[in-house]
Structure 1
Amino acid sequence: MVEKIANILVKKMCDEKLIDVKKEEDYVYAFICIVERFITLGTIIVISICLGLFIYTCIFLIFFLSLRKRTSGYHANTFLQCYFGTVSTYILIVFTDAFLVRNFRILNAVLILSIVVIWIIGTINHPNMNMDFCELYESKRAARLILIIESGIIYFSIFVGLNIIIVSYMSISIILCAILFLIAKILKQEVIENEKS
């Protein structure tokens, strides 16, 4: 459905000479990605409003998306798998948050382990990205910088006594990035350097 709309829209833009015909596929792909991301994030935002968790969810999304953009990690094969997986994961986070708040030592231990995993590996070179050496190096550097900033914010928030639920949602964002990272490694969703040659 989304792909059909994207094709029609981009075709009209080509006919009107608003975009270069040679880049038609790129525009279709970009349009599909934007619409799919909007649908997924829109669903999560609507659920968060219904549950009264809008602020916590926004904080989670800012932390998660900032880091995920640089680390990459597991990617589903289809939009529907991605959509249901993402929404289900968010709902799971909502329902496990109370447990994690009550057991903050467990949350903190898993957070530290996640920080170490992301720091050591940095970025997964997913086949869809297929980064060259320089791009991969820059992505790892950016991921580690974001990780330092986010970890610093979390531990500063703990130090000043910020609402523990906010700290929990910030922490879960890093933990989720690490989990997706490890799933991609286990499923071998990455370009190995000697495979590129």
Structure 2
Amino acid sequence: MVKLCAKKITSFLIYNEAIDSKESENYEYGFETLIAFLLNIFVILTISCMLNKFKYTLLFLCCYCPIRQYTGGYHADNYKKCLGVFITIYLINLVLLTIINFFDLKEMLIILTFISYVGIWILSPIEHREKPLSDEEINHYKKVSRTLISIVLIFIFMGINSEVIYEYSAYAASSIIWIFIMINLAIIKNRGGIHI
């Protein structure tokens, strides 16, 4: 469905001479990525509304998506699996944050966040199999990802002990942890150890 939509949009733009037909593959890939991203966001936000977690989820996505764009990490083999993995991550995240909150495990959350921060700082960016990066791009992605995770980390440390914004901080922290997990899954997959 995603590929078909991307093809139709690209064909429409070529037909109307809005884009050059020589660039059709690049546009198709770009539209595929955009459609899959929007579908994932729509599904997650719909679930968050049903679970009354919209504001927290929106913050999670605002931290997770831009940083992940620059850090790279695990990518599923197709768009259905990608959506499935993202929904699974989201639901596991909700359960784990509920457990952390219930048992007052703030210290554990802070430790995991800091370990993840250091891991992201050292390991990112992880190249996507379909889009290798030049040395210049690697340096740029590294700088941007380090800047973004540092901003999020400052927000987390400012809010983790505040009753007013604790839950927001916890969701921001979980975004850093999940990005680190996705980086490690990509490393394992690239070595042939994971087939999701």
Considering only aligned residues, what root-mean-square deviation do their CA atoms show, in Å? 1.5
> Could you tell me whether the CA contact under 8 Å between 1:122 and 1:141 is conserved in 2?
no
The CA deviation string for residues 114-142 of structure 1, in whole angstroms up to 9 with x for no partner, is 11111222311232221111110111111
Mapped to 1, the partners of 2:181 and 2:167 lie a distance apart of 20
- 2:16 is aligned to 16
- 2:194 is aligned to none
- 1:36 is aligned to 36
**Correspondence list, 1:83-122, <5 A:** 83-101=83-101, 102-122=104-124
**TM-score of the two chains, using structure 2 as the length reference:** 0.90
Mapped to 2, the partners of 1:9 and 1:64 lie a distance apart of 28
The code of the aligned residue for 2:157 comes to Y
Say if 1:24 and 1:43 are closer, same or farther in 2 by CA, change over 3 A: same
TM-superposed deviation, 1:157: 1.5
Q: Any gaps of 5 or more consecutive residues in structure 2?
A: 192-196
- 2:134 is aligned to 132
Q: How many residues align?
A: 189
Q: Any gaps of 5 or more consecutive residues in structure 1?
A: 190-197
Does residue 67 (structure 1) correspond to residue 67 (structure 2)? The answer is yes
TM-superposed deviation, 1:160: 4.8
The code of the aligned residue for 2:20 comes to D
Report the 3-state secondary structure (helix = DSSP H, G, I; strand = E; otherwise coil) of the residue aligned with 1:76.
Answer: coil
Mapped to 1, the partners of 2:32 and 2:149 lie a distance apart of 29
> Could you tell me whether the CA contact under 8 Å between 2:45 and 2:54 is conserved in 1?
yes
Mapped to 2, the partners of 1:139 and 1:8 lie a distance apart of 31
Mapped to 2, the partners of 1:11 and 1:4 lie a distance apart of 10
Q: Percent identity?
A: 25
Mapped to 1, the partners of 2:171 and 2:139 lie a distance apart of 29
> Could you tell me whether the CA contact under 8 Å between 2:72 and 2:124 is conserved in 1?
no
Mapped to 2, the partners of 1:157 and 1:62 lie a distance apart of 16
